[in-house]
Structure 1
Amino acid sequence: MSFSNFLSGLKEKTNELKDEVLKFKNKNFLHAATAGSALIAMADGSIDSAEKQKMLKLIENNDALKVFKTSDVISSFTEFLNNFDFDKDVGESKACEALNRIKDNNVEARTVMRLILAIAASDGVFDQDEKIVAIKIAKELGLNPADFEL
């Protein structure tokens, strides 16, 4: 094996490791994004396919979450929805726990908040129930709701 091949292989392994580290590092962000998405989607008592599709599209196009497989995003989102199916209070508690894990990172918290608001508007309506939940999410993230016109 030539030195050139060795370096090439080493660079490839380094990039693979970097990708794995990024996935681990952003796991809290993934969970916060999917937890907040589940909270806002359930604000009106149900979740429709437009909200699910919008959430997936926004997360897939988010630079901070591109490192995650779509299946991981769906799995995390489904887990939070299942918590709501089990018990509304348990669902809210688990979602708030996930949001609280990123509240010390202003960039991540603001990104999650913008994502959540986009999902809320995906069905063309931003009703009072969704606004109440959005305000609660902003506060859980340590953000001022007024910064998001709430």
Structure 2
Amino acid sequence: MALWDKLKDSASSMQTQLMAKKNDLKSGAFRDASMAMCALVAAADGSVDPAERQRVASLIATNDVLKNFPADDLQRRFNEYLDKLAADFAFGKVSVIQDIGKVKKKPVEARAVIQIGIVIGGADGDFDKTEQAIVREACYALDIAPTEFDL
């Protein structure tokens, strides 16, 4: 199986797993951690490209699991996280990862945040090494073994 097909299957599988847990994913901490993860993946290379911002914002708006929350609220939070990362990536990353870490004590939410990162990272068909490294860092912040997600 080609890498592209494997990646698409993996992202699709993650989305299916997320949908199965949709009713358990309604907390404010999950909402914030998910938007932090989306911003982190979008800015994984240290910069925030306008096209990447728009692509991820569109994915957020159409993700069925995230429809538990008002779209405008998600968009605002996503933009706030991206702005932190754009202003000073290294400092912003520390803050954003701290917000992701707030779901550490809720294993279902913590794993769902990682899965959202993988879905967002793989949505363009290229879950590149930089994006994988960012999601791996989030795994450590959540006390999840990256190997659980083949990272």
Specify the TM-score bucket, using the shorter chain as the normaliser. 0.7 to 0.9
How many residue pairs were aligned?
123
Structure 2 gaps of 5+ residues are 1-25
Matched residue type, 1:111 = A
Query: Structure 1-normalised TM-score?
Result: 0.75
Counting only pairs closer than 5 Å after superposition, residues 2-17 of structure 1 correspond to structure 2 as: none
1:46 CA displacement: 3.2
1:46 to 45, 48, 52: 48
- Separation in 2, partners of 1:100, 1:145: 15
Q: After superposition, give the CA deviation of every residue in 1:115-150 in whole Å (9 maximum; x if it has no partner).
A: 110000011101111111111111112111001011
- Work out the percentage of aligned pairs sharing the same amino acid: 28
| Counterpart check, 1:89 vs 2:94 | no
Q: 1:140 — aligned with what?
A: 141
Deviation at 1:82, TM superposition (A): 0.8
Supply the distance in 1 between the matched residues of 2:126 and 2:67 (Cα, whole angstroms).
28
Which of structures 1 and 2 has the bigger CA Rg?
Answer: 1
Displacement over 3 Å in runs of 4+: none
* Deviation of 1:51 (Å): 2.6
**Structure 1: gaps of 5 or more residues:** 1-24
Matches within 5 A, 1:1-150: 26-44=27-45, 45-47=47-49, 48=52, 49-58=54-63, 61-62=64-65, 65-150=66-151
Higher relative contact order (CA 8 A, sep 6+): 2
